[in-house]
Amino acid sequence: MTPRKHVCHIVPPYLMQRLDPGCLDKDNGFRAARAEHLTAVIAQRPAPEAGDTAAEAGDWTVYTANNGTDLPGEKVRAAGEPESGDESVDEAATGITGSLALFEEVYGRDSYDGRGIEVVMTVHYDQSYANAFWDGKQLVFGDGDGKIFQRFTKAVDVIGHELSHAVTEHTAGLVYQGQSGALNEHLSDVFGSCLKQRLLGQSAEEADWIIGEGLFTESVQGVGLRHMLEPGTAYDDPELGKDPQPAHMDDIYDGTDDNGGVHINSGIPNRAFALAAKAIGGNAWDGVGKIWYAALTGGAVTTDADFAGFAAATVAEAGEHAEAVTTAWSEVGVTPAADSPAPDGEEQGPTVVKVRRSGGFLGRTKEGVAELSPSAAQVATVRNLVSGAGAPSQPKGADRYVYEFEVDGQTAVVHEGDLSPELHAIANELLES
């Protein structure tokens, strides 16, 4: 029942294909080789046993792959240690320190899992590797090909972007496909840009809103990978082509490339965020950034959320800035979904969650129902289940229970052997009520 994890790269596949078709084949092979790792979500690891030493807040370690592909590689520098003299290592250290500080000091989040897990990073990955990615366990950065791209640690927002993929994976878990995947990419650009602006001390008005500034070599006609405020204008180069990002829903990409356009269509919510930031004023990380973070982590955003659903979640969290946020989404052609939480603190009616347990040794059936707040964690958990049900759960052993969960008129059947701890707790709570 766990959604399939994807390796999240900063450079979109349509650019990689232009630069080196073999590079994309290599990345696809890498994804397949690491698929077993990606199915194990770090957030589901058990808590440390008594006596274990948990990672301290802000813990990180930088490794080098020495231009090989074995991960994590050779340890070079850890939190609290002096500079190494290796540009990539020390840039990674600066970027991750700033990223962790942003999430902890501004949003109250202790590392990407919310529990202070150590961040592992590897630099000097492969030879002339023109990309950076989060693989479900760690951050990885290449040195660039020297022709189009320089080293990927050079742009601090790239480091913030990749760490934010880990945050999204451990919160809303947005599926890396279509509009939900574009939101996944969008949120990484949001917090990567907030990091850059915070380190530079820039207001939303002063910011350049460019993602990956400084990655291109001097030979490239472009300013960066993406332009959040003006999507489609980041580059126009004979070899790279023109930046394909749309700035409005009228021009949304509806093809199958790039996992349904996750890097392409992220331009639409990117522009909405930048417009909202400028309208609200002040510092983006401390203003509109808090609204977006609250939407991501508040329980209203499902794994397959679309732009309208996420827009509604941001409006619901915007308080006195609800009108500015609504207007920003309107300017990119997105109307917040009507069935999402109401803005300005208006109360919605309760959400009905049902569970039906059948089977077992006695073959008995028992039902439970509860009326919960729409923002309750149990509601979000069951919504995520029914929205991403996919292939049906299969029996695992004889005489075990079968559970049917229902919310918003949608249902999903889960056999006892596939029941997560969260769903098990919800079932017990409802069946005992």
**Does residue 290 contact residue 107 with C-beta atoms inside 8 Å?**
yes
Q: How far apart are CA 251 and CA 232, in angstroms?
A: 11
> CA 271: distance to chain centroid?
17
Q: Which residue has the higher pLDDT, 315 or 53?
A: 315
**Residue 9 forms beta bridges with which residues?**
133
Q: Has residue 416 got a pLDDT over 50? A: yes
As a whole number of angstroms, the distance between CA 275 and CA 254 comes to: 24
Q: How far is CA 340 from CA 195, 383, 428, in A?
A: 29, 13, 27
Please name the residues in contact with 388: beta carbons below 8 A apart, sequence gap of 6 or more: 1, 3, 175, 302, 303, 304
Please determine, for residue 313, whether its predicted confidence score (pLDDT) is greater than 70: yes
What pLDDT digit, counting tens, does each position of 302-311 carry?
999 999 999 9
Q: Which residue has the higher pLDDT, 18 or 144?
A: 144
182, pLDDT greater than 80? yes
When pLDDT is cut at 50, 70 and 90, the band that residue 131 belongs to is: very high
- 14: confidence class by pLDDT, cuts 50, 70, 90: low
pLDDT of residue 419: 84
Q: How confident is the model over 234-244, as pLDDT tens digits?
A: 999 999 999 99
Q: What is the pairing mode between strands 119-123 and 60-64?
A: parallel
Please choose, from the candidates 201, 172, 422, the residue with its C-alpha nearest in 3D space to the C-alpha of residue 314: 172
Comparing 11-15, 29-33, 383-387, the range with the smallest average pLDDT is 29-33
What does the block give as tokens for 100?
Answer: 């962790």
> Is there a shared CATH topology between the 8-45+52-173 domain and the 180-191+198-331 domain?
no
Instruction: Report pLDDT digits (tens) over 344-364.
Output: 444 457 889 999 998 887 777
**Residue 401 confidence (pLDDT) above 90:** no
Q: Is the pTM of this model over 0.85?
A: no
Calculate the CA 400 to chain-centre distance. Answer: 35
Whether the pLDDT of residue 18 is over 50: the answer is: yes
Higher pLDDT, 125 or 401: 125
Q: How far apart are CA 347 and CA 333, in angstroms?
A: 27
Pairing mode, if any, of strands 241-242 and 236-237?
antiparallel
> Which of residues 65 and 365 earns the better pLDDT score?
65
pLDDT tens-digit series, residues 364-389: 788 999 998 876 778 878 887 877 65
Q: Is the pLDDT of residue 132 over 50?
A: yes
- What's the pLDDT at 21? 56
Work out the average pLDDT over 310-338. 94
The pLDDT of residue 263 is 94
Q: Which tokens go with 389? A: 């049900």
Residue type, 408: D
Write the CA distances from 239 to 28, 145, 236, integer angstroms.
22, 14, 9
Pick from 32-41, 331-340, 364-373, 400-409: least confident: 32-41
Percent of the chain with pLDDT over 90: 66
> For the chain, which residues make up each domain, given as ranges?
8-45+52-173, 180-191+198-331, 351-432
DSSP collapsed to 3 states, the chain: CCCCCCCEECCCHHHHHHHCHHHHHHHHHHHHHCHHHHCCCHHHCCCCCCCCCCCCCCCEEEEECCCCCCCCCEEEEECCCCCCCCHHHHHHHHHHHHHHHHHHHHCCCCCCCCCCCCEEEEECCCCCCCCEEECCCCEEECCCCCCCECCCCCCHHHHHHHHHHHHHHCCCCCCCCHHHHHHHHHHHHHHHHHHHHHHHCCCCCCCCCEECCCCECCCCCECCCEECCCCCCCEEECCCEECCCCCCHHHCCCCCHHHHHCCCCCHHHHHHHHHHHHHHCCCCCCCHHHHHHHHHHCCCCCCCCCHHHHHHHHHHHCHHHHHHHHHHHHHCCCCCCCCCCCCCCCCCCCEEEEEEEEECCCCCCEEEEEEECCCCHHHHHHHHHHHCCCCCCCCCCCCCEEEEEEECCEEEEEEHHHCCHHHHHHHHHHHHC
Q: Are 234 and 255 in contact (CB under 8 A)?
A: no
The backbone torsions φ and ψ at residue 20, rounded to the nearest 5 degrees and listed phi first, read: -160, 100
Question: What is the CA 52 to chain-centroid distance, rounded?
Answer: 29
Phi/psi of residue 186, each to 5°?
A: -60, -45
CATH of 180-191+198-331, one of 1.20.1250.20, 1.10.390.10, 3.40.140.10, 2.60.40.1190: 1.10.390.10
Q: Which of 21-25, 64-68, 178-182, 307-311 has the lowest mean pLDDT?
A: 21-25
Average pLDDT of the chain is 86
Contact yes or no for 120/137 (Cβ under 8 A):
yes
d(C-alpha 366, C-alpha 257), whole Å: 46
Instruction: Say which CATH architecture domain 8-45+52-173 belongs to.
Output: Roll (3.10)
pLDDT of 28 higher than 60: no
- Residue 252 and residue 244 in contact, taking contact as beta carbons nearer than 8 Å: no
Q: What residues are annotated to the active site? A: 162, 263
Distances (CA, A) of 93 to 96, 100, 433: 5, 11, 50
**pLDDT computed for residue 337 by the predictor:** 85
> According to the model, what pLDDT value does residue 36 have?
40
